[in-house]
Chain A
Amino acid sequence: MESSILESIGVEIIGVMSPVSICMFLVVLLVYSLSSDDPFSSTDSTIRTAANLVYVENPSDSVSQKLEGALLNAVVFVILIAIVTFLLVLLYYYHCTNFLKYYMRFSAFFVFASMGGSIFLSLIQKFSIPVDSVTCLLLLFNFTIVGVLSVFAGGIPILMRQGYMVCLGIIVAAWFTKLPEWTTWVLLVALALYDLVAVLAPGGPLKLLVELASSRDEELPALVYEARPTVAPRNGGGGSALGLLITGVMEAEAESSSSSIELQAVSRDNVNENEGRGGGGNIDYSVVTMEDFRNEEIQSVRESEEERSPLVRNFREGQLSSADNGQRFDRREGEIAAEAMRRGGVEIADRGIKLGLGDFVFYSVLVGRAAMYDLMTVYACYLAIISGLGCTLILLSVCRKALPALPISIMLGVLFYFLTRLLMEPFIVGTATNLMMF
């Protein structure tokens, strides 16, 4: 019996969804295990980052005060990100690629070592794991070095690279969950809007970056999660099953004849094409920007950086679409305050879909924030985000250009969070505690 088509459809989507799910799940676990005992831990109140530069939220403030402050924070944060992204475009324009590359490596090292380290430290404290400082330091050092190598260097097994990517996402997201509640929500919405503008609007920084890179015909360094098909590559015609499915349906509706060849030709015309299909004659661009930001004690030094993603591939005929990812760090008074990885685009290529690491981070931030309320909101937000991601991917295979992955998912996630919290919880608790179910 031949294998049915059920096994070949949706492989790419699952390839992206499963790491996102893992990332969210681990962040939720981390949030739970670290915050369950002392919900009023002091770190929550002392953390001060670029994301709450203007206003430090206080639980006793009035609602309007919180809203105003959170809005201000979000605006400042988004403006900072926009500035850094433009700086990045500028740097890239003047060919400072090496500088960007090395700086990005350094910052990845920094994330793994210091932020990851402090998370490990709190885990060790929480579960009272008996480990001495030398061992711990050695382990952390090894973890960090391998992490930086596997994220930026070639020749590392793809599974390990993906694992470290998810790890990076988890670490950053875990830091972001320490932001105060109102600021988090407003920030997420603001970032989703910014994402929309930066990728799609003419003159948007990320769009500029992608176009710049594609006009130079080089690859931008990427902090992108690549979902490569773990199964053996499908035979030639298989390209992207999803894209084929959807385009097939659209064609069927338009009653046009089969046009997979035509589609391919079109996709070559378009420089910014996102989806390659039909056996890989296309070139893929992956754009990721990593921006780094730090405020040392007196003045803030801003540096942005980007890095080539080592796309290890046997046959590199690929065309790519663009995913961008920005990451920024902020340091204040000698300690890392926060960092944000911004943005990602998603793309389908022959090798699978790419998703910016920033999307991982902010999805997980949303779910982690939901986890601080209740499990119910976690499930609702998870489902909303995953379905938003699914919608984005489907749109992607329809539009075939780089799309922002944040807006749909974040909007759905926020919507479902509040719907669940305000409407569903009293309903469920009211019926279930009376053992009434249906």
Chain B
Amino acid sequence: MTVAAGIGYALIALGPSLSLFVSVISKKPFLILTVLSSTLLWLISLIVLSGIWRGFLPFSSSSSSSSWWPYAILILTSVAFQEALRLFFWKLYQKLEDMLDAFADRVSKPRLFLSDKMLIALAGGLGHGVAHAVFFCISLLTPAFGPATYFIDRCSQVPFFLLSAIIALAFVTIHTFSMVIAFNGYAEGNKVDQYFVPTVHIVAGMVTLVNWAPGGCSVGIPVLYLIAILTLIHCGRMVWRRLTENRIRPGHS
């Protein structure tokens, strides 16, 4: 029974990305490699961040609820770092795109289609998202397979594992699709999209601070999902717009 519960938590967090992986990514080996390298990049960023913050952790969790601000700083720095990482990833991707195009010319195949570029961005985002879910949710799930569950004080209605799985799902969505938005924004030079992504990321991170307040998770999680859905809609509209534009003017991009 508890094994089933554990698997269930894992699937809540990773189920959508798993189906995305199986249906879209796994058919194209290159995308699998993209997912893996982007996951590795995220892991490295996490290690660097934790190396920086290692000296200050754990924050003395005194009973005074005013000690949430170190976490605010932590999230702020982390998000800033990861957004810088996204820029780095974009630079890498540009190099890669040139390589791929050169290669395509060499084997006389068509160059990257617009949809291919979007797929690469999706794979990169999926790597970030999966890394988030794996390290923040799945790696803490080991006790969930055991004969008990765990509740935390501030959100005592729902088991901790379920909570973290739900939050992780929202973040997987945000990470996955904001990468598509960001890459597209960089490619088009669209300032709105370029600023949209860090904003969403930082707001989502800040919203999790609401969970610090007792019972805050009943507010924080819906807001988080609102943000995730907003990202999803924005991404969907943007992709739709690009694809239809592209169809009208074929060969332009």
Q: Which residues of A contact B (CB under 8 A)?
A: 1-11, 13-14, 17, 237-238, 241, 244-245, 248-249, 252, 258, 374-376, 379-380, 383-384, 386-387, 390, 416, 419-420, 422-424, 426-438
A244 with B40, Cβ < 8 A, contacts A5-B112, A434-B211 known: no
Find the A residue at minimum CB distance from B113.
A4
Closest chain A CB from B77 CB (angstroms): 10
Tell me how many residue pairs across A and B have CB atoms closer than 8 Å: 177
* B residues in contact with A5, CB < 8 Å: 30, 100, 103-104, 107, 109-110, 112
Question: CA of A167 to CA of B140 in the docked complex: distance in angstroms?
Answer: 29
Q: Are B75 and A436 in contact, with the CB atoms below 8 A? A: yes
Interface range for B: 35 or more
Q: How far does the Cβ of A425 sit from chain B's closest Cβ, in whole Å?
A: 8
Q: Which residues of A contact B29 (CB under 8 A)?
A: 7, 9-11, 13-14
Does A430 contact B102, Cβ atoms closer than 8 Å? Answer: no
Residue of B116, B139, B152, B171 near A6 (CB, 8 A) is: B116
| Contact stretch, chosen from B50-58, B85-93, B189-197 | B50-58
Contact with A along B103-124 (1 / 0, CB 8 A): 1101101101100100110000
Query: Is there contact, CB below 8 Å, between B33 and A428?
Result: no
Question: Given B28, B50, B134, B168, which contacts A379 in the complex, CB threshold below 8 Å?
Answer: B134
Nearest opposing residue in chain B for A245, CB measure: B103
Contact in complex: A10, B167 (CB < 8 Å): no
B146 vs chain A, min Cβ distance (A): 8
Report the minimal beta-carbon distance from B14 to chain A, rounded to whole angstroms.
12
Other than the given A245-B99, A427-B50, A428-B140, 7 more pairs (CB < 8 A) read A10-B32, A249-B103, A252-B102, A375-B141, A434-B152, A435-B154, A437-B168
Binary contact track B27-67/A, C-beta < 8 Å → 1, others 0: 11111110011011001001101110110011100000000
CB of A256 to closest CB in B, whole Å: 13
- Cα A181 to Cα B57 in complex, Å, equals 27
Interface of B is mostly: helix
22 residue pairs bridging A and B, Cβ less than 8 Å apart? A3-B109, A5-B112, A237-B107, A249-B103, A379-B135, A379-B139, A383-B43, A387-B37, A416-B43, A419-B47, A423-B51, A424-B46, A427-B49, A432-B137, A433-B152, A434-B154, A436-B71, A436-B208, A436-B212, A437-B164, A437-B171, A438-B205
Query: Closest residue to B77 on the A side, CB-wise?
Result: A438
Interface residues in chain B, defined as those with a beta carbon under 8 Å from any beta carbon in chain A:
27-33, 36-37, 39-40, 43, 46-47, 49-51, 53-54, 57-59, 71, 74-75, 78-79, 82, 99-100, 102-104, 106-107, 109-110, 112-113, 116, 119-120, 132, 134-142, 152, 154-155, 160, 163-164, 167-168, 171, 201, 204-205, 208-209, 211-212, 217, 220
Inter-chain contact A437/B100, CB cutoff 8 Å? no
CB-based contact B106/A258 at 8 Å: yes
Q: In the complex the two chains form, is B211's CB within 8 Å of A436's CB? A: yes
Q: Which residues of B contact A424 (CB under 8 A)?
A: 46-47, 50, 135
**A14 to B100 alpha-carbon distance, docked (Å):** 18
| Alpha-carbon distance A10/B239, docked complex (angstroms) | 26
Contact across chains for B50 and A244 when beta carbons are under 8 A apart: no
Query: A9 and B30: CB pair below 8 A?
Result: yes
A6–B120 CA distance with the chains assembled, in angstroms: 9
CA distance A252 to B104 in the complex (A): 13
Which of A244, A422, A432 has a CB less than 8 Å from the CB of B140? A432
Nearest-neighbour CB distance to chain A for B166, whole angstroms, equals 10
With a cutoff of 8 Å between Cβ atoms, the chain B residues found around residue A426 in the complex are 50, 54, 57-58
| Distance (whole angstroms) from the CB of A424 to the closest CB of chain B | 4
Q: Which residues of B have CB within 8 Å of A422? A: 54
Q: CB distance B132 to A437 under 8 Å?
A: yes
The answer to whether A375 and B205 have CB atoms under 8 Å apart is no
Q: Are B205 and A437 in contact (CB under 8 A)?
A: yes
Q: Find out whether the CB atom of A435 lies under 8 angstroms from the CB atom of B208.
A: yes
